[in-house]
Each structure stands twice: as C-alpha cells, then as structure tokens.
Amino acid sequence: MRRIGPFRIVWRPSLNLPCSVPPVPISGQVILQTVVFHSPRKELRGRHILREHSNRSFVDTLSQASNMTTHSGRRVPVEPQRVDAPLTQSATFLVVTIADRPGASRVVRSVLSDIDGLAKNVAIRDLNAAFACTVGIGNDAWPSLTRIPRPTELHPFPVVYGQKHTAVSTPGDLLFHIRSERRDLCFEFERQLLDALGDAVTVVDVTAGFRYFDVRDLLGFVDGTANPVGPAVPDSVLVAEEDAAVAGGSFIVVQKYVHDIKAWNGLSTEQQEAIIGRRKLDNVELDDAAAGQQQSHKSLATIEDENGDEHDILRDNMPFGSPGSGEFGTYFIGYSRRLWVIEKMLQRMFVGNPPGLHDRLLDFSTPLTGTTFFAPSSSFLKNMDLGDD
C-alpha cells in the first residue's frame, strides 16, 4: 500500500490497476477505466478524468495512480477500451454488421457489456502479451444498442470525391480492434467473440495486421511518427466536456488501403521521400513545399483549426498482406477526440490543398473500405445490458 497525498493506493486481486481510497468513508465515485475511485468531488468519468474543478494536482494524482502496476507485475493487463494501448506485433481489425431481426441487438449488448471478461479469459494465457481490445459502435447501430442520443459528431463515413481518387464509404455497425504481441491470442479472442455473437452479426471485413521491422509500412517508411505522446494523448483522443454524455470515448475512422508495390518500387528513393515528406532511412522530416505547390503526405495530414492550432490524432496503422497473393496493404485506423480533424485530413488528401493537387501517395494506394465508429468508455460498455429493449 502507498499513500499519495490524501489517498491510499491499494490493489484489487484481479487487476493490475490501483484503486485509490480516501482514509475516511465519503460519498461519490470516480470511475477511471475499470478502477473505481472514491472522492469528495462530483462524479468524474474517463481514463483521463474530466472535471469541473481547477485542482490540477488532484486530477493528476488519480491519473498517475491509474497507470501504476503491481510490484510483482503479474496481474492480467486487460483494459478493453484502452485506445492508447501500445502498438503490438499483431492486430486484428474485425468489422461486423448487426442482423436485422428481433433479439439481435440484445445479444450484442450482452456481449459488449462483458467484453472485459472475454478479454481477460484470453489475456490470462500470456500475461506479457499486452492483449487489448477496443470496441467501436457505428452510426446506424448506435440508437438501438445504446438507447441514448448519438455523440454530437457521429455520422456515417462521408464519401470524398477528388478529381482522380475517391475515399469510399462502406458498412459497419461494430469494430473490434484486437491487439496482442501474439497472433494466436488475437485469433483466439476473435473465435470466442464470434461464437458469443453467433448469428446476431455478419462479418463484413476482417484484416490481420503485423508489425513490420521498426514500425514501418510496406512502402518502407516509418508510420505513426506524428502520434501524440504523454499528456497530449487525452487532449487529442478523448472526448471531454464538449459532449458530456459520452465523455471518455473516442471517434474512430478506419480505411483499408492496398498498395501498387511494383509501381511504388519503380520510383527513386528521392521521389518516394518527396511524396511522403520524410527521409526513408532515418525518418527525418523534409521541409514543407511553398503555399500553392504540391504538398507531401506529411503536410496534407497536418491539420490546423481556424486559429492556427494544430490537432493530432492517434494512428494505430498496421501492414497486412501476402506476397504470394500479390497483396500489400496498410490498415489505417485513427482515433480522435474530434471527428472533423480526420475528415478534414481526408479532404486535403483526396481533393487536395489547393484543390487538384491531391496526395500523390494515393496514386499508389487505393482505399477499399471507409467506416466511422465511436468507442465509448469501458464503464459505458459495462452498463449497456441494463434496462429493457
């Protein structure tokens, strides 16, 4: 047991996360992922706590406590809605639609409310495999599953028409972003999950990704360099007071790209670097082109608001494919507090900035899918099975 300020840090036997309890019984609860904190403050929610108070040290104390581990390090590391889970060796991206029949939504709600238990059942096989699963709910499925209004920005993925390339929109009611250091754990979780869902869902896309060398894509460049880190993660990824009913959640956009590797490899390294905006070997950024000129992928994917403030997203992209079948691809998955940030990024890529000067990476990369989801907090998921249809 440790003491941090007025709080004692104690440990629950089934988790590797701490529970902070004040020295005397008081009312009110603070829910921080799967950990319950008791506090004299008003109820605060989310992994990075939302607050009406200005006491930053109080908030930081609870947030730091949530990231501690046991002294033995041998508890099951399961956080089903950890959108910032570390990049692993393997990932499965499973997209399904919900059957249009009586009882299907009830089955799905039951499974989602116990997704933590299902994840623990798989994660226990290897405590060091960093297993995690994040669940996203699509626009069309949100009302029947949650029975509350949609998040303010949630809507179907919009088709983006450029002069040369199009970002397609494809169906999807649920996304399961499954991650682990071991491919077999991803496989086993997917198997148990689909067994539990049964004929309540139909699989519309499943993609198995892998980490490629030093976090490179199959085009040979390091991917994810611009991700936020440290304190910048919650501000970039987690919905806050602007949409209090779904605070602690995150918008997700997925696209499955396939690459024309033969054409790409026909370019010189210098040509490839100009398209990406970084040096291939050491990942160093190249200078931006002048305004009105052809911009690199790096520049087009940098988003600012009307005040000139830059907004980041969290990418967990993974390569996928098979040389034997001639398939080489990247599964793009972006988490964001603000859906408009990703949508503006896609507009700049496909339409161009200025219009007509599209992202030249699209001359070698074609999107096969495009779907938007919202990942609610884990406490939200746990309560989904309460109440009647």
Six token digits for residue 32: 């921080």
d(CA 359, CA 289): 13
CA-CA distance, 299 to 359, in Å (whole number)? 9
CB 33 within 8 A of CB 23: no
Sign (positive or negative) of CA dihedral 385, 386, 388, 389: negative
Q: How far is Cα 133 from Cα 369, in angstroms, rounded to an integer? A: 21
Which tokens in the block code for residue 148?
Answer: 């509350």
Characterise 269 by phi-psi region: left (phi > 0), alpha (psi -120 to 50), beta (else): alpha
Q: Quick check: 43 and 27 in contact, CB under 8 A?
A: no
Strand (E) or helix (H) holding 381:
helix 378-382
Orientation of helix 104-113 relative to helix 183-197, angle to 10°: 140
* Contacts for 69 with CB less than 8 Å, ≥ 6 apart: 16, 75
Q: Are 179 and 131 in contact (CB under 8 A)?
A: yes
Reference 342, options 247, 267, 253, 209; nearest CA is 253
> Is-catalytic flag, 126?
no
Count how many Cα atoms sit within 13 Å of the Cα of residue 160 in the half-sphere of its side chain: 24
> Which is it for strands 44-45 and 35-38: parallel, antiparallel or unpaired?
unpaired
| Residues with Cβ within 8 Å of residue 294, at least 6 apart in sequence | 357, 360
Q: Check 223, 312, 316, 359 and give the catalytic one.
A: 223
Residues acting as catalytic residues: 223
